[in-house]
């Protein structure tokens, strides 16, 4: 019983669910702010932080690695914002300038100084969720996959941050000027949120890779946005869809003998397509019905006259 969580299927699915929950929980606020692609910049920039932390401390995992790499994500955002403030470059172009530079530096550092260390850009980008159950630790008599334990702690920290600053985050997301007037410091909240995104990306990279993490940060929140206009409901739906994508993707991957992470990402896309089609206000069918009603109104008025 104490080794339940290292059974391969359970370990893989639970790891995917935890990454999905943590990523989508933070991603809701990025999507609402129109900053969802910052998660892409952060997730690639952490390779630079991982390389620097290893050079300074020799650590390839653990809290020091998470904090150090998270700071590199914050550095990426700071550099992007600095470029945007010049008013000569738009944000999308600034992202395209900064994150390839930091990612390239990370690749160079790893190839020059860390050839014999189990660190490479392929691991960071793609991970290998199928092997998460092999790296095990003992916690209070329970044998757990290392990634599962780390992600559980990270998810708890993310959830605590959202719970403690929910009202401030809500106000800063929808009306940052009012939030600043009321003393909520929206810029500080924003960087705090991005620090958590960076830390979560680092915790996720060894298990699922940053590509699937980016998918969880963007796609379920985007699907939830199409289904509701209430923030609390959007958070619930985004997390639910992300967590459901893990077992659905795993079952499909085993049945088709294809990439597990790829099928989990595809499952999130399935939820997005359903939301895009069936959303009560923003869905394609709802929009078509509204257009049809508007087109019928003049005809009804003319017939009654």
Please tell me the pTM assigned to this model: 0.84
Q: Note whether residue 35 is domain-resident.
A: yes
CA 176 – CA 213 distance, rounded (Å): 27
Structure tokens at 153: 């702690």
The enclosing domain of 145 has a CATH number of: 1.10.3470.10
Q: Note whether residue 294 is domain-resident.
A: no
Q: Tally helices (H) and strands (E) across the chain.
A: 13, 2
Q: Note whether residue 47 is domain-resident.
A: yes
pLDDT per residue as tens, the chain (305 positions):
566 667 888 889 999 999 999 999 999 999 998 888 888 788 778 888 878 888 887 766 667 777 887 788 888 888 888 888 887 778 778 888 887 888 888 888 877 876 665 555 556 666 678 778 777 777 777 788 888 888 999 999 999 999 999 999 999 988 888 888 888 888 888 888 988 988 888 888 777 877 888 899 999 999 999 999 899 999 999 999 999 999 999 999 999 998 888 899 999 999 999 999 988 877 788 888 888 888 877 655 555 54
- The whole-number pLDDT of residue 162 equals 95
- The whole-number pLDDT of residue 107 equals 80
Q: Which long-range contacts (CB under 8 A, 24 or more apart) does 151-154 make?
A: 151/15, 151/18, 151/19, 151/22, 151/203, 151/204, 151/207, 152/18, 154/18, 154/22, 154/66, 154/199, 154/200, 154/203
- The whole-number pLDDT of residue 290 equals 81
Helices 209-225 and 231-256: angle between axes, nearest 10 degrees: 130
Q: Note whether residue 127 is domain-resident.
A: yes
CA 36 – CA 30 distance, rounded (Å): 5
Q: Note whether residue 14 is domain-resident.
A: yes
How many domains does one find in the chain? 1
N- to C-terminal Cα separation, the chain: 77
Closest CA to 126 of 268, 259, 296: 259
Q: Note whether residue 269 is domain-resident.
A: no
- The whole-number pLDDT of residue 122 equals 57
């Amino acid at each position: 019983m104490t080794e339940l969580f290292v059974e391969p299927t359970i370990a893989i699915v639970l790891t995917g669910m935890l990454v999905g929950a943590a990523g989508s929980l933070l991603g809701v606020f990025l999507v609402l702010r129109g900053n969802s692609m910052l998660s892409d910049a952060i997730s690639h920039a952490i390779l630079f932080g991982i390389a620097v932390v290893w050079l300074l401390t020799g650590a390839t995992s653990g809290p020091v690695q998470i904090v150090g790499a998270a700071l590199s994500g914050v550095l990426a955002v700071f550099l992007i914002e600095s470029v945007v403030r010049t008013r000569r470059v738009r944000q999308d172009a600034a992202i395209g300038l900064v994150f390839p530079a930091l990612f390239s530096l990370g690749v160079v550092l790893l190839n020059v100084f860390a050839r014999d260390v189990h660190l490479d850009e392929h691991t960071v980008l793609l991970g290998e969720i199928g092997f998460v159950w092999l790296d095990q630790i003992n916690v209070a008599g329970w044998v757990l996959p290392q990634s599962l334990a780390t992600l559980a702690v990270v998810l708890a920290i993310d959830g605590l941050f959202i719970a403690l600053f929910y009202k401030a985050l809500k106000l800063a997301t929808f009306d940052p000027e009012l939030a600043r007037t009321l003393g909520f410091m929206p810029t500080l909240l924003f960087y705090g949120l991005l620090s958590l995104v960076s830390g979560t990306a680092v915790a996720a990279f060894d298990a699922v890779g940053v590509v699937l993490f980016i998918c969880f940060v963007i796609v379920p929140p985007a699907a939830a946005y199409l289904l509701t206009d209430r923030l609390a409901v959007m958070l619930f739906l985004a997390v639910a869809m992300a967590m459901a994508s893990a077992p659905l993707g795993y079952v499909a991957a085993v049945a088709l003998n294809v990439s597990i992470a790829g099928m989990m990402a595809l499952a999130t896309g399935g939820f997005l397509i359903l939301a895009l089609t069936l959303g009560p206000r923003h869905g394609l069918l709802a929009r078509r019905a509204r257009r049809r009603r508007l087109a019928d109104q003049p005809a009804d008025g003319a017939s009654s006259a």
